[in-house]
Amino acid sequence: MRDERDFAELYRRRYPAIYAYGVRRVGPESAREVAAEVFLVLWRRRIELAEDEELPWLYGTARKVTANLLRSEKRRSALTQRVSSVIAVGVAGQLDPMGAVDAVLDVRAALGRLSPKDQEALLLVEWEGVDLAAGARITGCSPNTFKVRVHRARRKLGELLKDQAAPAVGVLAVRKGEGDD
Amino acid sequence: MTDQQIKELLQAADPARGQVDDQLDAQAYDDLRKIVGTTRRRGKRATYGRLAMTGLAGALVVVVLVAQPWAGSSEEGGPGTAHAGTPPLLKYTPQDKRPAKEQLLDFAARVRALPAEVPSGPVLRLTTKGWYLVSGDMTESYIEPQAATAYVVDRQIRSLQDGQLGDPIGVYWPNELSADPAVLKNQLAYAHPGNSPDSFLAALGDLQAEANPGPKLRAALMTLLADQPGITADGTVVDRFGRRGVAFSLVSDGGGLPSKKTVIFDVKTGVVLGREEMLTEDAGKLNVPIPSVISYTSYLSRDYLPALPK
């Protein structure tokens, strides 16, 4: 990144994705903080990123910043990973207080029952839309390990949702249909 | 349920759905102005490739600059060169010269013979204190060790946060954990798959944070630890809270850098008193000296209550 103009361009291009990552993990207020910290690190460390490296690096950094934020705000405990894994669920509830869509609540509850690593892998793929190679880079594991985590998380989530309530899927399907016009 | 159905459900449950605009708002632009108004690091530019090669890009082992009681950072030439303060190293005193495996199996046999402990109430309360390093030099904040209290009842864990009980989280363990090491190994692998030392230690740690293993289960855990390749005996130690223990360690690079991971058992009961992780060979780009403790968790107490606190 040669200068301020390049940085600003990258910032405009990638800010929404990093802010969304923060919203999903720590809620909209703290998401601002996460995004600002991530881009501050990039700016101060003068890191050169090829375009296809931008999101993996930014998400990887956001992951660490989020962990630090949760910890510094004493939201983490001895059950740190478990707790953090349900924060997204809790935050989601705050964001959508009236959205008592059974299916959505079921999904959020089921997500909270996945192991933190599996949950993280699945959500990076489904929410952030990263591919396996990028996910592996973000989480610091091999692509194969990441792939296994995603697969295991999908399978487990499917089992949990199946166990919870078949109608949940139906409710969502109906709602989806309502919004598809 | 198909992958496509799961995808649709997850997308519907996305907390950022409808919350994020592709166009930056005034606050985002304001943050941009503040960022470019800060001083950039001098010297050569870093590249993602170099970072990734160090294993730091996704390392679990990361920096937190720590405050008391060991917050003695030493300045060596300006920002970015001061070493993070890390907890003091524990002093281990080797006493038994037998191989670690033999010591552990012998210890396990003694623990297995201890009388079973009867819960005095339905709610298990666990208290811990721990610290670990997070995030390299990107965040320059000092973080204190964290105390935590959790309550376990009906296979649900609730942590106490800021005086409030958190939402319950289901435990991963089967109703009855087996005291047969072979069976227990599979049960632990449910939440932490794989045969690596890191998987086993992670499972052991979770179990300590979520349950109160009885003597037979503790003996089975010791037996599984004894079977871990590369297990070594460190000897006796007084832990961070003045308790006398006996320690065993494994070295792995599961966190991105080779680190020594130590489990400390109470010398008499075999209860896990704590776990420690220490960098012994290479700090990579972490801003800590070698050797350095980079995380610890001390399991302070386990007791039973008649009901959850209000």
Domain that holds residue A6: 1-76
Q: Is B242 in the same domain as B192?
A: yes
A148 and A71 housed in the same domain = no
Structure tokens belonging to residue B268: 């008499």
In a domain? residue A90: no
Checking if the pLDDT of B141 tops 90, the result is: no
Give kind and range of the element (H or E) at residue B246. Answer: strand B244-252
| Nearest residue of A to residue B58, measured between CA atoms | A140
In a domain, B65, yes or no: no
Q: Are A47 and A112 in the same domain?
A: no
The residue that leads in pLDDT, A46 or B67, is A46
B contacts of A4 (beta carbons < 8 Å): 36
B79 Cβ contact partners less than 8 Å away, ≥ 6 residues apart: B140
Q: Please, which pLDDT band fits residue B190 given cuts at 50, 70 and 90?
A: low
Question: Using one digit for the tens of pLDDT, what is the confidence trace for A64-80?
Answer: 888 777 765 543 443 34
Between positions 142 and 171 of B, the ones with CB within 8 A of A are 143, 146, 148-150, 157, 159-162, 166-167, 169-170
Same domain, B18 and B148: no
Task: Give yes or no: residues B177 and B235 share one domain.
Answer: yes
Q: Within a domain: residue A177?
A: yes
Lowest mean pLDDT among A152-166, B48-62, B275-289: B48-62
Asked if A9 and A51 sit in the same domain, the reply is: yes
Residues A103 and A72 in one domain: no
My answer on whether B49 and B170 are in the same domain is no
Last residue of a domain, one of B13, B37, B59: B59
Domain count, chain A: 2
Please indicate, yes or no, if residue A89 is contained in any of the structural domains.
Answer: no
Residues of B in contact with A152 (CB under 8 A): 193
Query: Which residue of B36, B139, B209 is in closest CB contact with A68?
Result: B139
Residues B160 and B34 in one domain: no
Q: What is the pLDDT of residues B253-273, one digit of tens each?
A: 765 678 899 999 999 999 999
Residue B189 maps to a domain: yes
| Whether A34 and A103 share a structural domain | no
In this structure, is residue A94 part of a structural domain?
no
Residues A103 and A181 in one domain: yes
Quick check: is A110 in a domain? yes
Indicate whether this complex's ipTM tops 0.85.
no
Whether residues B107 and B241 fall in one domain: yes
User: Higher-confidence residue: B102 or B171?
Assistant: B102
* Pick from A58-72, B39-53, B184-198: least confident: B39-53
The residue-averaged pLDDT of B146-174 equals: 77
Please provide the average confidence, as pLDDT, over all residues in chain B.
Answer: 78
CA–CA min distance B296, chain A (Å): 11
B54 and B117 together in one domain: no
Q: Does one domain contain both A180 and A126?
A: yes
Torsion sign, CA atoms A181, B4, A141, B177: positive
Number of structural domains in chain B: 2
User: Residue A118 sits in a domain of what CATH number?
Assistant: 1.10.10.10
CA angle, residues A89, A31, A70, in degrees to nearest 5? 65
pLDDT of residue B126: 94
* Nearest of B16, B24, B25 to residue A23 by alpha carbon: B16
> Is B54 in the same domain as B96?
no
Q: What is the pLDDT of residues A84-106, one digit of tens each?
A: 343 444 444 444 434 445 667 77
Residue B70 lies in a domain: no
Q: Residue B30: give the domain boundaries.
A: 3-59
pLDDT in tens, A13-68: 999 999 999 999 888 888 998 999 899 888 877 777 888 888 998 998 898 888 77
The answer to whether residues B268 and B169 belong to one domain is yes
Q: Contact at 8 Å (CB) between A1 and A49?
A: yes
A122 and A155 in a single domain? The answer is yes
pLDDT of residue A178: 34
A171 has pLDDT over 80? no
CA distances to A12, B135, B184, B226 from B179, rounded to whole Å, are 57, 38, 7, 15
CATH of the domain at A25: 1.10.1740
Between chains, do A35 and B28 touch, taking CB under 8 Å as contact? yes
Is A85 a member of any domain?
A: no
Domain end marker among B59, B82, B106: B59
Select from A9, A61, A79 the residue whose CB has the most chain B CBs within 10 Å, as the one to mutate to test that interface: A79
pLDDT number for residue B94: 94
Is A165 found in the same domain as A120?
yes
Q: What pLDDT is attached to residue B266?
A: 97
From the list A82, A164, A137, A70, the residue with the least C-alpha distance to B56 is: A137
Give yes or no for residue B45 having a pLDDT over 50: no
* Shared-domain flag, residues A66 and A111: no
Q: Do residues B104 and B24 both lie within one domain?
A: no
User: Of A18, A41, A76, which one is at a domain's C-terminal end?
Assistant: A76
Task: Please give the full DSSP string across A12-76, using - where no structure is assigned.
Answer: HHHHHHHHHHHHHHHHHHHHHHHHHHHHHHHHHHTEE--HHHHHHHHHHHHHHHHHHHHHHTT--
